[in-house]
Chain A
Amino acid sequence: MKKTVALILCVLLSVSLVFSILILSIDDKNGSHGDGQNEGSAFIIWGTLDYSDETYMGGETERNTSRDVCDTIYGFFADAHAYDYYENFWGNDTQPDQVYSNVSYCEENYNFTAIFYKGHSIGAYCDVEGCELGEHWTLYAAGGYGEEYILDYLIHDRMSSGTHDFVFLWTCGYGAEDKLGEIDENGHSVGMMASWMDTTALEADGYASPDGSNHCFIGFDVYSIWFSNKTGYADFDYGDFASLFFKYALYEGWTVNDALDAAAEETHWQSSFGDCQLYTGYLMADPEDVGQSVECYMRVWGDGNLRLLRGEGEGG
């Protein structure tokens, strides 16, 4: 009789364990992280294939590192099960028309969209009648220099709900105050922050003084540092910094500031983002003044307290 009771208890325990696994897997499929309030989030990676210039673009090494890091970041989003739509379009899929149509798609279907771009920047002029905004700013598409670029105002033309809330452009210049841009009375825009985020009214140092706007734009002031550049600590490079930033933001559910701090601490000598050279300034070779270096910065605009792990009571 005792053996029978013990056997029944074992069977009951086994069945319970199986059911508990089923309960958790159903939770995962729902993309629920806590309260199931995820109303739809998207994350898209874009990136150029053009790293042809060894001196100022990093060549084949930088291109391969960029591909690998974007793959890694994509993997974090896939594992996190926190986003309803996530794509890695690094490489050939980074075509201007695809970028514009994706902006429309995300604006219309998701209440939070995060963007990561890796590549290069170049100025251009638009042919919009009556434009008085001067020089426009673009991103390299897959083909790179001399091919069709991704134009700032054509991104903004696809805005409808203004739900591109996190934009991280790992490219030169667009984090600088004089490149943030503006939007004229006709809705015509210039600059990447203005165009992607439909605003320029973000706190200039969102790391030190988060503005609570639920919008965060990260870019570089002057030249972006290469992924393949070593940080000087252990064997880390800046590709590691980028991937660790997303890892902490998604796996730990930490804020942008927390994730910047954790990634900086792990990859640098310093114990916070505010003390590391991305924030305090680093030197890059200046292609406009050959043989000279120029001080550059990573800039965090807006709300450093924004969280990328959606669905835990976060506002859109």
Chain B
Amino acid sequence: MSLWTKRLCSALVLVTVLAVLFAYAPTVYLAESSDADEVLVFLEEVVSLDVAKYDVTQLGTSVTYPDWLNGLAQVTGKYTLESETSKIDVLFKFRNSTLSWCLMRILEGSPHYTESQSTDLHDLANGFLQNYQDYSGDSELEAMRNMLDLVDVTENSTKTVDNLKLTVSVDAFSFCLDWRYTLDGTDCGGVDVSFRNGHFYALGDDRSYWQIIIQ
């Protein structure tokens, strides 16, 4: 085989290998992975989920710029967490670089927690909010937490203190708490958290971008 033939063959092999590598290279950007990792921190620190006990699989993330967010990025993704006795799906969305939605769907078994979960709805919600406040460093959550003492969380009710309105919704599916700021009678941003069968189910927090979407 001549030297040129050898070089040509080597070049072809190199081209093939590189082509396959380029084609199947991971398409998740570093920034997205970083956002997604934040979800695991949220699950550990706020939901008290013992993430270390699970095999965690990230099923990809995508970045979009929906019209209604007026140029802000939305990062959407999903995790599955699986152990021998528990399987959980976790959906999430980041908007304005902040975790704005997280939903935890228990598919099998009972979740592994780092600390036991209260069976009392008031204490369950209070503990969650305390953890969320510690995690986010957000002092607004203190006022929301204090409002829990003003309502009976076992029945549907609404309570307003200054410009903050708390709505409690209880039905066969879930127990839901919704705090909304109101401005001249109009609902503004807020926090919405629901629990199902004594476990965290979903959190929505649109305070980081609500001013953009009501323009």
Contacts and interface: CB of A to CB of B under 8 A. Distances in A.
A262 B91 contact: yes
B68 A272 contact: no
B160 to A, nearest CB: 16
B169 A271 contact: no
Interface residues on B, range: 35 or more
Interface string B157-194: 00000000000010101101010100000010010111
B11 A12 contact: yes
Interface stretch (B15-23, B33-41, B111-119, B144-152): B15-23
B196 interface: yes
Contacts of A283: none
Interface residues on A, range: 35 or more
Nearest to B17: A16
Given A16-B18, A258-B91, A274 B194 contact: yes
A131 interface: no
A19 interface: yes
Contacts of B201: 272, 274
A274 to B, nearest CB: 5
B32 to A, nearest CB: 13
Given A270-B192, A272-B201, A261 B68 contact: no
A282 to B, nearest CB: 14
Q: Which of B18, B213, B214 counts the most chain A CB atoms within 10 A?
A: B18
A261 B21 CA distance: 36
A234 B16 contact: no
Nearest to A210: B107
Given A12-B15, A234-B68, A271 B173 contact: no
B101 interface: yes
Contacts of A15: 15, 19
A93 interface: no
Interface in B118-159: none
A19 B76 contact: no
Interface stretch (A118-126, A136-144, A249-257, A287-295): A249-257
A234 B15 contact: no
Contacts of A305: 107
B1 interface: no
A148 interface: no
Contacts of B192: 269-271, 275
B42 to A, nearest CB: 14
Nearest to B66: A266
B178 A272 contact: no
A263 B89 CA distance: 17
B78 interface: yes
Contacts of A234: 68, 213-214
Contacts of B18: 12-13, 16, 20
Contact of B174 (A17, A265, A275): A275
B203 interface: yes
Nearest to A281: B171
Given A208-B173, A272-B103, A280-B169, A265 B68 contact: no
B19 A12 contact: no
B176 A20 contact: no
Given A19-B19, A20-B22, A265-B93, A271 B194 contact: yes
Contact of B203 (A12, A19, A21, A271): A271
A1 interface: no
A23 B20 contact: yes
Interface string A83-120: 00000000000000000000000000000000000000
A210 B191 CA distance: 28
A236 interface: yes
Contacts of A236: 68
Contact of A262 (B20, B76, B173, B178): B76
A145 interface: no
Contacts of B190: 269
A8 to B, nearest CB: 8
Q: Which of B23, B76, B180, B196 counts the most chain A CB atoms within 10 A?
A: B23
The 9 A-B residue pairs with the shortest CB-CB distance, nearest first, are A271-B204, A19-B19, A16-B18, A20-B22, A20-B23, A271-B202, A23-B23, A272-B202, A234-B213
Given A272-B202, A305-B107, 8 more contacts: A12-B18, A16-B22, A20-B20, A23-B23, A265-B204, A269-B192, A270-B176, A271-B194
20 contacts: A12-B11, A16-B15, A19-B15, A19-B16, A19-B19, A20-B23, A23-B23, A251-B62, A253-B59, A258-B89, A261-B91, A262-B76, A265-B204, A270-B178, A271-B202, A274-B173, A274-B196, A274-B201, A279-B173, A280-B169
Interface of A: 8, 12-13, 15-24, 208, 234-236, 248, 251-254, 257-258, 261-262, 265-266, 269-272, 274-275, 279-280, 305
